[in-house]
């Protein structure tokens, strides 16, 4: 059973377009993290959201944590080829673990 | 800064062979983790450790063993390699286990069992 469902699994867009990807769960998380992974490398943390309804911005990336702390979204404005990568969301679990989703593979075409 | 270092980067094993995947971190983190990543399946936790001498099973521990004799090192042992263990293995560490702290990942070991 996958605790975190990410959609869409794969998204290909042209440079300059906007995109939104989603991370949904039926479970409540105390916090949720977003990572980006590039080919041949390990995931790198982008942001952590803690409070329900919280919105965080990282340059052209906007992250939102749902009011009920069960879901999150990542919006990229004016996507660039450097945004290409696998975006992973991970929910904090009370037993010292992170539960990862399967990821959103984003490809930005120049 | 080195961060989390994994060796080797690539390895091919025959069925039934054994090997140890090495992981070391220089950030003095208490918590360390081993994950496997299969295509389209995200990261699955194999084992984790909350400090030297303490380890616990994750979601998919069968076929693997770990030890944590020092804060820096957290090796993962495969005793009898099976084709189902073909995967990319990531080691990670964090200062604490709380959700607000990031996990720092190595670049992975790509393992094929033939």
A26 secondary structure, DSSP code: S
How far is Cα B7 from Cα A77, in angstroms, rounded to an integer?
38
Establish whether the linkage from the previous residue to B104 is cis, with ω within 30° of 0. no
Distances (CA, A) of A95 to A23, B20, B49: 21, 27, 12
Is residue B38 very low, low, confident or very high in pLDDT (cuts 50, 70, 90)?
very high
Determine the Cα–Cα distance for residues B97 and B114; give it in Å rounded to an integer. Answer: 36
Residue window 22-51, chain B: list those with CB within 8 Å of chain A: 31, 35, 40-45, 48, 50
Q: Tell whether the model's pLDDT for residue B99 goes beyond 60.
A: no
Q: Which residues of chain B neighbour A41 with C-beta distances below 8 Å?
A: 107-108
Per-residue pLDDT 10s for chain A (110 aa) are 568 999 999 999 999 999 999 999 999 988 899 999 999 999 999 999 999 999 999 999 999 999 999 999 999 999 999 999 999 999 987 656 889 999 999 999 99
Across the interface, of A30, A44, A101, the residue whose CB is closest to B42 is A101
Q: Given this model, what pLDDT does residue A93 score?
A: 77
Closest Cβ opposite residue B97 in set A33, A96, A102 = A96
The pLDDT of residue B2 is: 79
pLDDT digits (tens, 9 = 90+) for B40-97: 888 999 999 999 999 999 999 999 999 999 999 999 999 999 999 999 999 999 987 5
* Inter-CA distances, A57 with A43, A61, A62, Å: 19, 6, 4
Answer for the pair B33, B16: CB distance below 8 angstroms, yes or no: no
Q: Which residues pair with B88 in a beta bridge?
A: B37, B110
């Amino acid at each position: 059973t996958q605790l975190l469902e990410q959609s869409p699994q794969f998204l290909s867009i042209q440079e300059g377009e906007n995109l939104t990807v989603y991370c949904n769960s039926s479970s409540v998380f105390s916090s949720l993290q977003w990572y980006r992974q590039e080919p041949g490398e390990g995931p790198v943390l982008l942001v952590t959201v803690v409070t329900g309804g919280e919105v965080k911005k990282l340059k052209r990336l906007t992250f939102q944590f749902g009011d009920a702390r069960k879901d999150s979204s990542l919006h990229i404005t004016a996507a660039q080829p450097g945004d290409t990568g696998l975006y992973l969301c991970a929910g904090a679990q009370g037993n010292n673990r992170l539960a990862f989703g399967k990821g959103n593979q984003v490809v930005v075409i120049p | 800064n080195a961060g989390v270092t994994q060796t080797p980067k690539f390895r091919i094993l025959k069925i039934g062979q054994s090997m140890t995947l090495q992981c070391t971190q220089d950030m003095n983190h208490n918590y360390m983790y081993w994950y496997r990543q299969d295509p389209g399946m995200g990261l699955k936790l194999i084992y984790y450790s909350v400090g030297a001498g303490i380890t616990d099973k994750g979601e998919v521990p069968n076929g693997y063993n770990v030890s944590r004799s020092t804060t820096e090192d957290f090796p993962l042992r495969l005793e009898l390699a099976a084709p189902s263990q073909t995967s990319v293995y990531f080691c990670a560490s964090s200062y604490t286990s709380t959700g607000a702290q990031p996990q720092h990942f190595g670049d992975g070991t790509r393992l094929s069992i033939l």
